[in-house]
Homo-oligomer: A and B are copies of this chain.
Amino acid sequence: MITLDTIDKKLIGYLQQDAKKTTKELSFLLGLSNTAVYERIKKLERQQVITNYVALIDKEKVEKNFMVLCHVKLNQHLKKNILQFEKEILKLEEVLECYHVSGDYDYIIKVFVKNMDAYRKFLVEKLTVISGIGSTQSTFVINEVKNTTHIVL
């Protein structure tokens, strides 16, 4: 079992906000030595608490700011259909997230495309061609109020 003390949690918090912070800066913020901070980061990486470091981009600036939450229902809950659907979804680059959920629908997927036309194309050419899909229902995002990757511990 992994146990994180207060300093680890603070450290993870800082790195979730800015991965480019140097150990020097972090050691100042945490009131620790350079080496201590370095060892803690390496440990968190080794334990796979920190999985990776990524650049985040502005979706508007790259014209991928048309976002849709699409509810998907399979027509039969056969293991074969489930595995097939999940395998195909992983391949679709327009789908950033996919969750198997409780309730009326089986999956909720988050899709990013350029505009409505691109979405229509995605729907007819990529999503609904997956075998086993019963129905879909698209919920369009009018405004992104909040979107962060920062999990507060």
Contact = CB atoms under 8 A, between A and B. Distances in A.
A97 B148 contact: yes
Given A50-B55, A89-B146, A95-B146, 6 more contacts: A47-B61, A96-B148, A96-B149, A99-B141, A99-B143, A100-B144
Interface of A: 2, 4, 12, 15-20, 47-59, 61-62, 64, 67, 69, 86, 89-90, 93, 95-103, 107-109, 112, 139-153
A89 B68 CA distance: 20
Contact of A69 (B108, B147, B150, B151): B108
Given A54-B149, A56-B53, A100-B143, A61 B90 contact: no
